Amino acid sequence: MDLFEYQGKQYFARFDIPVSAGGYADTVDAAVAEADKAGYPVVVKAQVQVGGRGKAGGIKLANDATEARTHAENILGMDIKGHVVRRIWVEHASDIAKEYYASFTLDRSAKKHLAMVSAKGGVDIESVAEEDPGAIAKMHIDPVDGLTEADARRLVADAGLDAEAVEGAVDILQKLWRCYVEGDADLVEINPLILTDDGKVHALDAKVTLDDNAAFRHPEWEEFRGVAQLDPREARAKEKGLQYIGLDGSVGIIANGAGLAMSTLDVVNQVGGSAANFLDIGGGANAETMTDALEVISTDDKVKSIFINIFGGITKGEDVANGIVEALGRVKLTAPIVIRLDGTNAEQGRAILA
C-alpha cells in the first residue's frame, strides 16, 4: 500500500523522524484554518500518489491567509498526471539551506536492503542516477545485521553531506531504518531531506510503501486504507477481490497471472497503445471473476477497447468463455473486445465464444 505524503509523515513521526507541523484539508476553508494553525509562511501541498508535484504546480508557498486560500482553491481539484487532487496538506514552511536525499528499499536481486543517500536531493533521483550516478552513496544492508550507526556515518560521509548536517542525518537514517523494518515498509524515501538555515535536519517530503503481507500485525494501518483507495475504480475492484491497478491509458486489460498481465501491458505499449489498468484475475479464475473484471473495466470511461489475455493452466478455457458471455449479458459494453485464449480447453472456450 502506497501512502500519501501526509500519511507517510504521520508514519515517520511515530519513529521520531522530524517533520513539519501541519494538517490536511479537503476544502478551501479547512485549508485556511490549517494554515492559520501551522503559522505563516506555510506550504500548500497536493496529496497525490505521483512524484514531481512541485513542477506540476501542486506545491505552493503562502505568506498569509489570502495566499493560502488562493493556492488551496487552485490546487484542490487540480489534475496532476491523471491524479485528481482531493486532499491537500498544509504545513509550516521551512527555510531550506540544502536539499538531500535518503531512502531504504529492497534490492531483490541482491537479496538485501539497499540504502541510498545523496547530497543532490529535491530533484528526481532517477535523473541523478542517470546523469551523476557517483552522487548517490549506496550500501547494501544485511537483513540480519541491520543498519549500524557506523553504517549510517559511512553513508553520510560517502554522500558528502555538509558538516552541519552530519549528526542530524545520521540520527534520521537510524530512525528511518527502524521505520522501514519495524514499520514493515518496502520503501521509505525522504526527498528532500533538508538542512534548515538554523542547522536542523528534517524530512520535507515522505514516500512510504507498506508491505501488505505484514498487514496482519498492523491493525493501525486500517486508518490509511480508506483514504489510500480514493481511485473509485480501484475501490470497486477491491470490493470484488480483484488485483487491479488503475492506469491512464485507453486499453482495458484482463489477464491471468501477474506476469502475464505485466507482459500484456508491455506488449500493448510496444505497439503504441496505452493500458487503462493492470488486472490479474488469478490462477483459478471462473465465470464470476471474469464478470467482475469486465464490470470494473466497463466503469472506466477512458477505456476504448478491451484486451483479454488468458493462458489456461488451472483456469479452463470454457470457464473464461462462459464468464465473458455471462458478463456481456450483465454489463453494457460499448468497447470492442479482443481475446487471446490459449492453454487448457482453449478449443472449447473458443467454440463458446464463436
Between 191 and 277, whose beta carbon lies closer to Mn ion? Answer: 191
Q: Which of 5, 91, 189, 318 is catalytic?
A: 189
Q: Hey, how many other C-beta atoms are within 10 angstroms of the C-beta on 65? A: 15
Q: Which region, judged by CB under 5 A, interacts with Mn ion, from 150-158, 183-191, 268-276, 342-350?
A: 183-191
Q: Is the dihedral of CA 36, 38, 43, 48 positive or negative?
A: negative
> Binding residues for ligand GDP, per CB under 6 A?
43, 51-54, 59, 93-94, 96, 99, 122, 191-192, 204-205
- If the CB atoms of residues 120 and 175 are measured against ligand GDP, the closer one turns out to be 120
- CB 164 → ligand GDP: shortest distance, Å? 18
Q: Do the Cβ atoms of 195 and 213 come closer than 8 Å? A: no
State the Cα angle at 163 between 160 and 167, rounded to 5°: 100
Interface with Mn ion, residue 47, by CB under 5 A: no
Q: What amino acid is encoded at 340 in this protein? A: R
- How far apart are CB 188 and ligand GDP at their closest, in Å? 14
| Residue 5 is among the residues annotated as catalytic for this protein | no
6 is catalytic: no
* Rounded distance between C-alpha atoms, residue 318 and residue 30, angstroms: 54
125 versus 268: smaller Cβ distance to ligand GDP: 125
253: cell is 486489460
φ, ψ of residue 274 to 5 degrees: the values are: -140, 135
Shortest Cβ 205–ligand GDP spacing (Å): 3
| Peptide bond connecting 133 to the previous residue in cis, omega within 30 degrees of 0 | no
Q: Which of 6, 24, 101, 180 is catalytic?
A: 101
| Residues whose CB falls within 8 Å of the CB of residue 27, separated by 6 or more in sequence, listed in order | 76
Q: Cβ 192 to Mn ion, closest distance in Å?
A: 6
Cβ closest to ligand GDP, residue 126 vs residue 301 = 126
What x-and-dash track marks residues 197-226 binding Mn ion by CB under 5 A? --------x---------------------
Which three cell numbers mark 6? 501526509
Binding-site ranges for Mn ion (CB under 5 A): 191, 205
